[in-house]
Structure 1
Amino acid sequence: MTPIDHIAADLDELVAIRRDLHAHPELGFEEVRTSGIVAEKLAAWGIEVHRAVGRTGVVGILEGRGTSPRRIGLRADMDALPIEEATNLPYRSTVPGTMHACGHDGHTTMLLGAAKYLAETRAFDGTAVFIFQPAEEGLGGARAMLADRLFERFPCDEVYGLHNNPGGPVGRLSVRAGPAMAAADFFDIRVVGRGAHGAQPNRGIDPVVIQAALVQALQTVVSRNADPLKSAVLSITQVHAGAAYNVIPEEAHLAGTIRTFDDDVRALVARRMREIAAGVAAAFGAEIRVEIRDIFSVLRNSEAQAAAAAEIAAELFGASQVDTDPEPKMGSEDFADMLHAVPGAYAWLGGKSGANLHNAAYDFDDAIIPLGAAYLARLVERRSASAA
């Protein structure tokens, strides 16, 4: 029996877990119920459990039957997003304004499936380290676990992560060596002018007009300052100002994100944003405050581990179902910080077509649970061997 067949026999149980998690989503660092379910399941399967790692994270430890000292880490994220669900699914979110719109409920379930299989079979030599991470969606959950001495307390020789990819091809695993996902900075810009009556703009310094000029000027950073052969994205995603029809407000607020793969480009974008803001402020006689925060590092897969991931996926799914040269993604993932500490690889697994990630109509493809769980479990079986 293959790992896929073994895990598929438990599919009803795993789907029930996934849909329960979907119905009860929790935001980053609030995953109390979710982490409780994870801990209870692991303990019931005879796995050593450590709770409150990085606040609401959970780590499970399972020893194999052999004598290998190698320790293989597997990581899944648990948090949901602040999105109002727009599906009519019977297991849709019961929490207003919160839903699993990125499939973390499925990722958690796949890792639980891998853990259950490995606990039942113990067909590996070393130690499996199951890492259930909180707060992946921009709140620094990986960094919180690392600050809580994750890899000092639970050493790993390698660590692997997996994300679903709606739109497929179904069951196809994509993994590339080197930079695979972009770094991300979040920014907030405050434009401070002088409020006035809407009928007397000459008595104020209008932050709305200044904000509009700044939005336009910032678009030149990527188009005119960054090397066109090096990827960069600067997106303004929030614009806020005023609360009345006849009042010129005192302040306006811009926010957004920067995505880059190159450290020099990342520094250039931040520097030019500040310089442009200072110039616009001087031109209009206003004050502009710029805050830029490092949220995600560049996700870089180690060459040996990416190759191992592809080999294992080919064994399980067939060589035609493995893509070792996908385009890098401008999206970001805080598993990058774990890969800065321990060599490993992050892969994507295709699911059925439907609403995309971070969409209010998204739903995880339950049919790929045995595939993802088998892939994660096989990584432990193969990579924990003494000769690895």
Structure 2
Amino acid sequence: MLSESKLTKIYQKLHQIPELALEEVKTKAYLQQEIAKLDQSYLEIKEISELPTALLVKVLGSDPKKTIGYRCDIDALPLTEETGLEFSSKNPGVMHACGHDIHMTVALGVLAYFATTRPKDNLIFFFQPAEESKNGGKLAYELGVFSGKWRPDEFYALHDAPELPAGAIGCNLGTLFAGTTEVDIHLYGKGGHAAYPHQANDMIVCASALIMQAQTIISRNVDPTKGGVLTFGELRAGTIRNVIAGEAMIKGTIRGLTQEMITLIQKRLQEICDGVAQSFGARVELNLNQGGYLPVENDPLLTNFFIEYMQNAPDVEFIETEPKMTGEDFGYLLSKFPGTMFWLGVNDVHALHSNKLVPDQTAILKGVNAITGFLCARMKQEKEVDA
């Protein structure tokens, strides 16, 4: 098992070499370097030529009845770090501002434990590229990575949480993260002189009407006891004050705690776009891109066992958490395999995706201990939780 000082060194090294989605070349090489130091007796490595920065490691169980997957994301964000840490990012404009360096370090710690303490069941560690964008989990699944002997029966993953105490485990039954959809709307009318509006078709007015109507989707179509968000964060139109804009572009995001809710919002937005197009005599094109960012819906039976274990583990501080409207592509894998995603507290005043995020490193070993304990308990069950 890796010591706390070794885990700290690994974390600080990973923090210095952040890379964007599908560009995690140095990150993967460093992971391979650390994995190569472990006892290889029960380890099997798999690489994917079509997804070259991904890495899978299988620990062969002594008497396997099932295969348990553990996913760890490895990419970073396009942010310039402002933490002032001695081990700050050495890659200008890129930072581990979402804590994936914490995720990787914990995963290496868990892997190191089972490399020397052989598990009963098979374990598959999936070091996944492109969580922040480009749907790394979906890409891997569609490439057939999780087939044959590499198919897990259940999947687990963590996400760090600045608002929770360092090392605390948080989880809830049901949805942990919302599903997300990127929204792009292009409006086409007719430009003209500001003094002759009757000779033009103003897309600023059209876009304004569309935005205002779209805001009624959440307030008048979504059950108020359920979660849904539609936010437009970008509107572009026009070039000068005395020219009527013939085109406009709106960009935004949909968030929902269930796929049913997301589908409802998508449907209503399409209907509003069609209606606005007709009423303004304009062409309105709506593009919706959800990709692999489905709601992270925890399996009820596996998650109930996970929560019971964490609540009763003597060295674990467990906190029941509320669903979040942030997105996570582990939701795609949970739509294909039963499993659980949970939080690991890292105790920082800065939010995820902040360029000043400084996770408390004492959370790492606590996370390793909690997860290894849970996996051992899961493998000791006489009966399957869904029996």
Q: Conserved in 2, the CA contact under 8 Å of 1:75 and 1:160?
A: yes
Equivalent residue, structure 2, for 1:272:
268
The verdict on how the C-alpha distance between 1:215 and 1:127 changes in structure 2, with shifts beyond 3 A counting, is same
Q: Is the CA contact (8 Å cut-off) linking 1:306 and 1:344 kept in structure 2? A: yes
2:122: which partner in 1? 127
**Greater share of residues in helix:** 1
One-letter identity of the residue aligned with 2:58: I
> Which whole-Å deviations, capped at 9, do the CAs of 1:62-98 have from their partners, x for residues lacking one?
124x323322211111111222323322222233332
Q: Does 1:214 align with 2:210?
A: yes
1:231 aligns with 2:227: yes
What residue number does 1:387 align with? Answer: 382
Q: Which amino acid aligns with 1:50?
A: K
TM-score (norm 1): 0.89
Match in the other structure for 1:327: 322
Cα distance, 1:85–1:214 mapped onto 2, change above 3 Å: farther
2:131 aligns with: 136
Q: Which residue of 1 aligns with 2:337?
A: 342
Q: Distance in 2 between matches of 1:167 and 1:342?
A: 29
Cα deviations across residues 102-122 of structure 1 (Å, max 9, x unaligned)? 111110111011111221333
Find the partner of 1:31 among 18, 24, 43.
24
- Are 1:302 and 2:299 an aligned pair? yes
Q: RMSD of the alignment, in Å?
A: 2.3
Q: 1:97 aligns with which of 85, 93, 102?
A: 93
1:169 to 165, 168, 172: 165
**1:292 matched to 2:288:** yes
- The alignment status of 1:313 with 2:310, answered yes or no, reads yes
Once residues 49 and 218 of structure 2 are traced to their aligned partners in structure 1, the CA distance between those partners, rounded to angstroms, is 39
User: Share of identical aligned residues, percent?
Assistant: 33
Distance 2:86 2:24 in 1: 22
What residue number does 1:3 align with?
none
Cα distance in 2 for partners of 1:305, 1:170 equals 24
Provide TM-score, normalisation by structure 2.
0.89
Letter of the 2:145 partner, please give it: L
Distance change (3 Å), C-alpha of 1:262 and 1:63: closer
Which has the higher mean CA deviation after the structures are superposed, 20-29 or 235-244?
235-244
After alignment, is 235-244 or 146-155 more displaced?
Answer: 235-244
Aligned amino acid, residue 174 of structure 1? G
Q: Deviations over 1:350-388 (max 9, x none)?
A: 121321011222223211111122223223322233735
**Pair 317,132 (structure 1): closer, same or farther in 2 beyond 3 Å:** farther
**Is residue 310–residue 374 contact of structure 2 (8 Å, CA) maintained in 1?**
no
Aligned to 2:177: 181
Counterpart secondary structure, 2:102: helix
Count of matched residue positions in the alignment of Structure 1 and Structure 2:
377
Give the C-alpha shift of residue 152 in structure 1. Answer: 0.9
The answer for the alignment partner of 1:62 in structure 2 is 59
Provide the rounded CA distance (Å) in 1 between the counterparts of 2:9 and 2:194: 57
**C-alpha contact (below 8 Å) 1:53/1:150 kept by paired residues:** no
Q: Which runs of 5+ in 1 are unaligned?
A: 1-5
Aligned partner (choices 338, 349, 359) of residue 354 of structure 2: 359
Partner Cα distance (2:244, 2:90) in 1: 40
CA distance in 2, matches of 1:247, 1:84: 38
Contact map agreement 2:68 2:123 (CA 8 A) in 1: yes
Whichever residue aligns with residue 128 of structure 2, its letter is: Q
Give the secondary-structure state (helix, strand or coil) at the position aligned to 1:150: coil
Q: Which has the higher contact order (CA 8 A, sep 6+)?
A: 1
Distance 2:364 2:257 in 1: 31
> Residue type matched to 2:355 in 1?
A
Distance (whole Å) between structure 1 residues aligned to residue 375 and residue 308 of structure 2: 13
